[in-house]
Amino acid sequence: MKLIVAGKDETDSLGSVVAAEAKALTEAHSVPFCSPQHSAVSLRQARNRDEYIATLQQLLRIGSGIRTVFTTPPRPRTGLLLPFLARIKRKLMCFRAYEHGYIAHQQTTHNELLASAMELERAGHEARRQSLERRISELEARISKLEGRDGSLP
């Protein structure tokens, strides 16, 4: 195997990495769709609302990027009837591949729209918060200026 990237031979630096990833991909069910830190269970670890929303937003973005692969079940190892049933099941799953792809596409689109809406709403809330903080600091400055004139509020 020879790897050329941007006209340079990168076989020494990338060859072992690519070979390891290829080996992992060939092993059945060895590649998880997401790492454990990108699990919905990580939402439980949020300490407040903002952290929860930030984690949820990140998970939605990751979820919108996942392309599901409709895999066939693993082959049964023993028995006379089991290999025959596995072949039938694989054939039946081929008929459902279109439906699976359609549902996965719908879910991906929904996740993208929801994540975009949450990001837009969060940006709006952040702009409003900054505006309110600026107005509060201006009011505090005016109050301190008024207090400084004669020592009491009007």
Q: State the average pLDDT over residues 86-94.
A: 81
Q: Say which range, 16-25, 79-88, 98-107, has the weakest mean pLDDT.
A: 16-25
Among 30, 104, 21, 22, which Cα is nearest to 64's?
Answer: 104
| The predicted structure's pLDDT at residue 46 | 80
**Whole-number Cα distances in Å, 96 to 26, 67, 71, 84:** 24, 16, 11, 19
**Model-level pTM?**
0.45
DSSP string, 38-57: GSGGGGGG--SHHHHHHHHH
Q: Say which range, 29-33, 57-61, 131-135, has the weakest mean pLDDT.
A: 29-33
Percentage of the chain lying above the pLDDT 70 cut: 73
